[in-house]
Homo-oligomer: A and B are copies of this chain.
Amino acid sequence: MHQDKREHIITKAIELFAEKGFEGSSIRDLASIADVNIAMVNYYFGSKEKLYEAVIEKRVLYMRDFIDNVLSNTSLSLIDQLDLIIDGFVNRFLSDPLYHRVLQQELLVSKRAQMHQRIIELIIKNAKDVINIIEKGIRNKEFKKADPELIFASILGTISQVMLSKTLCNCLMEKPIEFNPYADKKIQQRLSAHIKQFVHALLTK
Residues 185-205 of chain A, each 1 if its beta carbon lies under 8 Å from chain B, else 0? 000001101110110011000
The stretch that binds B, out of A18-26, A35-43, A44-52, is A18-26
Which listed residue, B105, B124, B151, B197, touches A168 by the CB 8 Å rule? Answer: B124
- Residues on B with C-beta less than 8 A from A160 are 157, 160-161, 164
How far, in angstroms, from A172 to B152 measured CA to CA in the complex? 10
- Residues on B with C-beta less than 8 A from A19 are 109-110
Chain B's closest residue to A123 (CB) is B168
Q: How large is the interface on A (under 10, 10 to 19, 20 to 34, 35 or more residues)?
A: 35 or more
Q: For the complex formed, measure the closest distance between the CB of A13 and the CB atoms of chain B, giving whole angstroms.
A: 15
- Residues on B with C-beta less than 8 A from A111 are 20-21, 24
* CB <8 Å contact, A172 and B105: no
Which listed residue, B104, B151, B193, touches A164 by the CB 8 Å rule? Answer: B104
* CB <8 Å contact, B24 and A109: yes
- Residues on B with C-beta less than 8 A from A151 are 194, 198
A147 at the binding interface (Cβ < 8 Å): yes
A-side interface residues toward B, CB under 8 Å?
A: 19-24, 101, 104-105, 107-111, 116-117, 120, 123-124, 127, 146-147, 149-154, 156-162, 164-165, 167-168, 171-173, 190-191, 193-195, 197-198, 201-202
